[in-house]
Structure 1
Amino acid sequence: MSAFSEMVAADAQNVFLNTEEFGERHTVEGHAITAVVATNEQLAVTGGEALGIDGNAVVLYAQETDMPENPGVGGILNLDGSERVVEDWNIEMGVVVVRLRRNEAYA
């Protein structure tokens, strides 16, 4: 990893995912982690609607090392006790970005 990539990854952990800044405690697949969960209302303010985010969607940001194995698009991920369907899963500079929607089978 380059020095720049290491600095960005450190910033993600120390600022973005810090509980004194944006991070909050969430439960993912039964494990408590620090993450940022953006709801549809928050995403709409930042232009999320243009990205196809609907009322049942959230985006989860978490440290790569805190996340379980990627269940794949269409797979199920339990977030805070709610079964959600994975629509997208990317890793950006050590941060996992997962777009999830409510699993209508459990709604």
Structure 2
Amino acid sequence: MSLFKDTVKADVKNVFLNADEFSDRHEIDGVEIVCQIDTDIIDPKGGSISQPLYGVFANTITLYVSSEDIEKPVEGQVLRLDDRRLSVRQVKDEMGIYVITLEENDS
């Protein structure tokens, strides 16, 4: 592995997912894990990523978590985040951090 990749891997928990800096502890599927939650989701084409349909709205959040802390979820899987049950919409591995888009229906 290159020096850069080694540095990024070390920075995942020491910088990006550091509970004393940017991140917080949340319960994911019954296990307390340091992660980041982003509820300010904007579609790159403009507007909100959540679209209303027949009076039902999808609350969308993005979860950032170390790939070492959880098994990679799959699209459609139900994930428990604290006291919420959310559906996995998308998962990306960004150099050791899973970027997980989650949705829950609301009316």
Q: TM-score, normalised by structure 1?
A: 0.80
3-state SS in 2 of match to 1:66: coil
Offset from partner CA, 1:18-41 (integer Å, 9 cap, x none): 01211100010000000000013x
**Sequence identity percentage:** 34
Aligned partner of residue 7 in structure 2, secondary structure: helix
Q: Is the contact made by 2:72 and 2:98 (CA closer than 8 Å) also made in structure 1? A: no
Shift of 1:84: 0.4
Count the aligned residue pairs. Answer: 98
> What's the C-alpha RMSD, in Å, of the aligned pairs?
2.0
1:1-107 alignment, distance < 5 Å: 1-40=1-40, 43=41, 48-50=42-44, 53-54=49-50, 56-70=59-73, 72-102=74-104, 104=105
Partners in 1 of 2:64 and 2:32 — Cα distance? Answer: 14
Amino acid at match of 1:66: D
Structure with larger Rg: 2
* Secondary structure of 2:76 counterpart: coil
Give the distance between the partners of 1:53 and 1:32, measured in 2 at CA: 28
Structure 1 unaligned runs (5+)?
none
Q: Is the 8 A contact 1:29 1:68 kept in 2?
A: no
Structure 2, unmatched stretches of 5+, are 51-57
| 1:69 Cα deviation from its structure 2 partner | 4.2
Measured after TM superposition, the shift of residue 50 of structure 1 is 2.5
Structure-1 separation of matches of 2:100 and 2:72: 12
Name the structure where helix makes up a greater proportion of residues.
1
